[in-house]
Amino acid sequence: MKFKDFKGPLIGKDRVERYVKSLRRKDKIKRIYHPLIDRILSERIQSPRRILDLGTGPGFLAAEFARKISRASVVGLDLSPDMIEYAKTFIENKSLKNLDFVLGDAQEIPFEAGYFDIVVSHGMIKCVSNVRKMLGEVYRVLSEGGCAYLVDSRRDVSLEEFDEVTRGFHPIDVEKSRRSVNKSYRTDEIKAILDEMVFKDEASIKVKGLTFEIKICKSALR
Ligand SMILES: C[S@@+](CC[C@H](N)C(=O)[O-])C[C@H]1O[C@@H](n2cnc3c(N)ncnc32)[C@H](O)[C@@H]1O
């Protein structure tokens, strides 16, 4: 089995198929997306109107948001035309009228400032070449009072933690997870980047299992 580099968009229909298979084998929707969505929604007082999933890949996280909050408009954005095509085909006949997929770069988000109440991202930070630019863009498109939750694997995970989380995974997925961890940022590297951002006082980072989560909440009192 060959693994390509993680940087940049995930191009190629066969790679997309393999990615989706692995995502389903790992039961990512139930194990990861549902708890993430429930936690995000429990933290917010008002109902979000617009939600952005950055680096949406096959669009499953975006689709779960759209299903859960039918009054919100949800956008899944990805730099890979193959992923966007897959995501669009996947939601055909699913009557999710509040969900759209857009081809675009997380480092130059094609939406106006303040447009989204929630920005999420899962597994994409290690893929972008300029994390500072991406974080700046996330902050720009957040509405006042809006929050971003950006989750990715972390390189500073211990062997014990890695074995614990990947126990029961298919061997291919253990190898994929190992490579993902090895290509990712350390939590202290991301913290150092966040500390350079002008919105550093509105950002925090925490660690859970194989991942870190950056949370950015744009102050409503600006
Ligand atoms: C590891 S996949 C994660 C997909 C999905 N979020 C998930 O949870 O399974 C990373 C995705 O980010 C996309 N990507 C990479 N660089 C990007 C960029 N600069 N802007 C937007 N998407 C990007 C890739 O095409 C790929 O679909």
> What's the average model confidence in pLDDT over 93-99?
91
Q: Which of ligand 1's atoms lies nearest the C-alpha of 57? A: 27
Looking at the chain, the whole-number percentage of residues with pLDDT higher than 90 is 82
Ligand 1 near 78 CB (within 6 A): yes
43 pLDDT band, cuts 50/70/90, is confident
**Residue 161 sits in which domain range?**
13-217
Q: What is the pLDDT of residue 221?
A: 67
Q: What's 61's domain CATH number? A: 3.40.50.150
Does residue 205 have its Cβ closer than 6 Å to ligand 1? no
- What pLDDT digit, counting tens, does each position of 162-184 carry? 999 899 889 998 998 898 899 99
Is 2 contained in some domain? no
pLDDT over 70 percentage in the chain: 95
Number of separate domains in the chain: 1
Is residue 64 within 8 Å of 37, Cβ to Cβ?
Answer: yes
Instruction: Please indicate whether residue 211, judged by its CB atom, sits closer than 6 Å to ligand 1.
Output: no
Q: For residue 26, tell me if it sits in a domain.
A: yes
State which amino acid sits at residue 56.
Answer: T
Question: Bridge partners of 50?
Answer: 73
Determine the pLDDT at residue 220: 84
Q: Ligand 1 centroid vs 79 CA: distance in angstroms? A: 7
The average pLDDT across 191-216 equals 96
Our answer on whether the CB atom of 180 is closer than 6 Å to any ligand 1 atom is no
Is residue 205 a part of any domain in this protein? yes
Confidence tier at 32 by pLDDT (50, 70, 90): very high
Average pLDDT over residues 135-160: 96
Residues with Cβ within 8 Å of residue 146, at least 6 apart in sequence: 48, 114, 116, 117, 118, 119, 217, 218
- DSSP H or E segment with residue 100: strand 99-103
